[in-house]
C-alpha cells in the first residue's frame, strides 16, 4: 500500500540504496527518485538492475514535487544538504533523514526548513559494514527498529505517514525525544563502534605481535570486533563529531567499569569476574529472545 | 588415517565433545574414551547419538592404556586434573590440553608428569558461545589454527603425532613459545572478551537507558559484543586468573589508546578519527582475505 506518491532519496550509499530498493519492491510509493552528489555514484546506480529509483542529474529535479524527501548522507553533511534542497521543497512536503544522531541533525536542519514543510527526523537501526550503491538491499530494514524523534509542533498526521512508510518496509517504529535517542544510541551503537575501532588500532600497533599473527588468530574473539571496525569511516567520523556529549558520558562510565575489572584481575578476584560474566550471559539470552539476534552458534558462520 | 591408537578426552564441554566427535568422524583414532568429573555430564554424553566416545565411569578407566590424553577442562582446573590422572598414564603416553593460556598450564602440569611420558601443550583457536556436551560438533576445528607450545626437551616425533592429529581434524598447526602465545592471545582473544564483558555490564547499569531499550536497539553494534560476552563464565574467569601479566599489559595499551580517542572526540578532531577508521577497515579486509572470516555482510545473519 502506497504511503507516499512521490519519494526522493538523497544520498545513494548503503542506506539510500536500500531505501530505493525497499520502497519500490514493497510498493510504498508511486514513484521514487534518487540523487547523489557524486557523478560516479549516480552512474554506478544507473547501472544497477532493480535499483528502484530514477536517478536525476540534479538535486532540484529529485526534490521538486516530492511528497517525502529522505536525506541519507553522512551526519556531518546533512546541514549543508538541507540548506541546498529546502528551497526546492514543495508546500506541505515532508523532509526526513536516517542519521544515527538526532539532536545535532535537528539543530542543523531547522534553520533552513520552509514554514510550510515538515521535518520528521528518523533513524533506522540497521546496517552492514559495507558501503555504496551496490551494497544496499531491500530487506535491510525488515525486523529492525526505526526510531523517529518528531518535533513537538509537527502534526501527528505527518508523523504517521513516515511511521507507516517504515512499517511498510518491515520495521517496528518507536518514537522518542531526540536527546534520549542520542544517549541510547551512544551505548548501543556509538561506544561499541569506538571500542571496536580502538582495539583494532591497539592490535595494529604492537611490536611483539605481528599483524599477521593478529590476523591469523583472530577467530579467538578479535574478528567479531573487526567487522564493526570496518564500518564506513566518514559516517562514523561524523557520528562522533555530532554526538559528543553522550559519547563522552558513556565512555566515562565504560572506563570506570573497565578500571574496576582491571583491579579484579590484578588482585586475582575470581568470584567478581565469574559473577560479571554470568550476568552478561543472561543479557545475551535476552537479546536472542527479543528477536534481535540469531541463536545459531557463531552467528551461523 | 589413524594418528593414535587409543585416545582419551577428559572434560566433555564444548571443546571436549567436539574432539570426541571430530576424532571419531575423521577416523583419527582406533578408539576414543571420554570422561567428565560430573556424573550429570557423563549421563548427558551417553545419551547423545554419535557422540564419538565410550564414556567411562572413572578417570582411571579412561586414562589407563591411552596413547594420548587430552585435558579439556577449564584452565584453572588443569593442575588438579593432571595431579589426579598422571599416575594412571602408561609409559610413553602423550598428555596434551586445549587451554587458552599456556605458560600457567605448563607450570601447573609439569610437576606431576611422569618421567616416561610427554606433555605437548596445545590450544585450538576455535569455539562458540555455547557450552556443554550437546554444544560440540565435529567441524569446529576445520579451517582454524591450532597452536602448539612444545617444551624444549620433547622429541620431535611426539610433537608431530599431536600436530598430525590436529591436521587430521582440519586445523592448520603452528608452533610457538608459550610466553609468546600468551601475549598473542591476550590481544586477539582475552582483551576482546574482557571489553565485550565490560560493555555489556556498563549498559546493564545505566539509569537513564532501560535494559529493554538496550536490548531493542542492539542491532546498532551492541549485539556483536554480546555474543562474546555470553561465553562460558568459568572458562573465562580462569583465563583472566591465569594470563594476568599479558592481559594487564594489553589492557594498559588499550586504555592509553582509548584515552587518545576520547581526546580526539572532545577536541572535535575529525581528521584523526577518520584516519583511524580508514586504517582499521583495511585490517578487517585482511582478515577476510586470510580466510579467517566470511565476507557475507553482517556475518551472513
CATH (domain of B229): 1.10.3660.10
Give the integer Cα–Cα distance in Å for B66 and B208: 58
Domain presence at residue B94: yes
Q: What confidence tier does A1 reach under pLDDT thresholds 50, 70, 90?
A: low
Digit-coded pLDDT (tens) for A236-286: 899 999 999 999 999 999 999 999 999 999 999 999 999 988 888 887 777
Tell whether A95 and A119 lie within a shared domain.
Answer: yes
The mean predicted confidence, pLDDT, of chain B is: 91
- Residue B287 has φ and ψ, to the nearest 5°, of -65, -40
Shared-domain flag, residues B131 and B250: no
* B278 domain-assigned: no
A240 and A165 in a common domain: no
The answer to the question of residue B234 being in a domain is yes
Rounded Cα distance, B196 and B245, in Å: 20
Residues B129 and B193 in one domain: no
Per-residue pLDDT reduced to its tens digit, B111-160: 999 999 999 999 999 888 788 999 999 999 999 999 999 999 999 999 99
Interface test with B, best of A125, A189, A217 (most B CBs within 10 A): A217
Same domain, A155 and A28: yes
Residue-number span of the structural domain to which B219 is assigned? 180-268
Using alpha carbons, list the distances in angstroms from residue A301 to A160, A285, A294, B100, B172: 38, 19, 11, 22, 19
The answer to whether residues A31 and A43 belong to one domain is yes
Is residue A288, in this structure, part of any structural domain at all? no
**CB A86 within 8 Å of CB A117:** yes
Nearest to B192 among A216, A221, A262 (CB): A221
Does residue B102 surpass a pLDDT of 90? yes
| Domain-terminating residue out of B120, B155, B176 | B176
The answer to the question of residue B298 being in a domain is: no
Q: Which residue of B has its CA nearest to A281?
A: B230
What is the CATH classification number for the domain harbouring B110?
A: 3.40.50.720
User: In this structure, are B190 and B258 located in the same domain?
Assistant: yes
Same domain, A20 and A126: yes
Closest CB to A221 among B147, B189, B266: B189
A113-171 confidence digits (pLDDT tens): 999 999 999 999 988 878 899 999 999 999 999 999 999 999 999 999 999 999 999 99
With CB atoms and an 8 Å threshold, state whether B283 touches A226.
yes
Residue A46 within a domain? yes
Same domain, A51 and A76: yes
Count structural domains, chain B. 2
Please tell me whether residues A132 and A229 are part of one structural domain: no
**pLDDT at res. B295:** 61
- Mutate which: B145, B189, B220, vs A, most A CBs within 10 A: B220
- Alpha carbons within 13 angstroms on the beta-carbon side of residue B273 total 28
- Distance (Å, rounded) from C-alpha B168 to C-alpha A63? 62
Taking the C-alpha atoms of residue A236 and residue A34, their distance in angstroms, rounded to an integer, is 23
Do residues B200 and B85 both lie within one domain? no
What pTM, to 2 d.p., does this model score?
0.81
On whether both A157 and A53 belong to a single domain, the answer is yes
ipTM of this complex prediction, to 2 decimal places: 0.83
Residues B15-43 as b/e (b if ≥16 CB within 10 A, e otherwise) read bbbbbbbbbbebebbebbbbbbeeeebbe
Task: Give the chain A residue whose CA is nearest to the CA of B252.
Answer: A262
In a domain, B244, yes or no: yes
**Would the CA dihedral through A119, A120, A125, A127 be positive or negative?**
negative
Of the three residues A176, A195, A213, the one that is the final residue of a domain is A176
Alpha carbon distance A232, A222 (integer Å)? 19
Percentage of chain B lying above the pLDDT 90 cut: 73
Q: Does residue A11 sit in helix, strand or coil?
A: coil
Q: How is residue A230 written as a grid cell?
A: 570496518
| Phi, psi angle pair for B236, to nearest 5° | -75, -35
In a domain, A299, yes or no: no
Q: What is the pLDDT of residues B160-172, one digit of tens each?
A: 999 999 999 999 9
Amino acid at each position: 500500500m502506497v504511503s507516499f506518491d512521490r519519494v526522493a532519496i538523497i544520498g545513494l550509499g548503503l542506506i539510500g540504496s536500500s531505501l530505493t530498493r525497499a520502497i519500490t519492491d514493497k510498493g510504498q510509493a508511486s514513484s521514487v527518485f534518487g540523487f547523489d552528489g557524486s557523478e560516479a555514484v549516480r552512474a554506478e546506480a544507473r547501472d544497477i538492475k532493480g535499483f528502484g529509483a530514477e536517478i536525476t542529474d540534479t538535486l532540484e529535479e529529485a526534490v521538486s514535487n516530492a511528497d517525502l524527501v529522505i536525506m541519507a548522507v553522512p551526519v556531518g553533511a546533512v546541514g549543508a544538504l538541507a540548506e541546498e534542497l529546502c528551497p526546492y521543497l514543495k508546500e506541505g512536503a515532508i523532509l526526513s533523514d536516517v542519521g544515527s544522531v538526532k539532536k545535532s541533525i535537528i539543530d542543523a536542519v531547522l534553520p533552513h526548513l520552509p514554514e510550510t514543510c515538515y521535518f520528521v527526523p528518523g533513524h533506522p537501526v540497521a546496517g552492514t559494514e559495507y558501503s555504496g550503491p551496490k551494497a544496499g538491499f531491500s530487506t535491510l530494514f525488515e525486523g529492525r527498529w526505526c526510531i523517529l524523534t518528531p518535533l513537538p509542533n509537527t502534526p501527528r498526521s505527518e508523523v504517521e505517514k513516515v511511521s507507516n512508510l517504515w512499517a511498510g518496509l518491515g520495521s517496528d517504529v518507536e518514537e522518542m525525544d531526540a536527546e534520549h535517542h542520542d544517549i541510547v544510541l551512544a551505548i548501543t551503537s556509538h561506544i561499541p563502534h569506538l571500542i571496536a575501532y580502538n582495539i583494532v588500532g591497539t592490535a595494529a600497533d604492537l611490536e611483539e605481535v605481528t599483524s599477521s599473527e593478529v590476523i591469523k588468530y583472530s577467530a579467538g574473539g578479535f574478528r567479531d570486533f573487526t567487522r564493526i571496525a570496518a564500518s564506513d569511516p566518514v559516517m562514523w567520523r561524523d557520528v562522533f563529531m555530532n554526538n559528543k556529549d553522550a559519547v563522552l558520558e558513556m565512555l566515562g562510565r565504560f572506563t570506570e567499569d573497565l578500571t574496576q575489572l582491571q583491579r579484579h584481575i590484578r588482585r586475582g578476584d575470581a568470584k567478581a569476574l565469574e559473577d560479571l560474566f554470568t550476568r552478561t550471559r543472561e543479557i545475551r539470552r535476552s537479546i536472542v529472545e527479543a528477536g534481535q539476534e540469531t541463536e545459531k552458534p557463531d552467528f551461523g558462520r
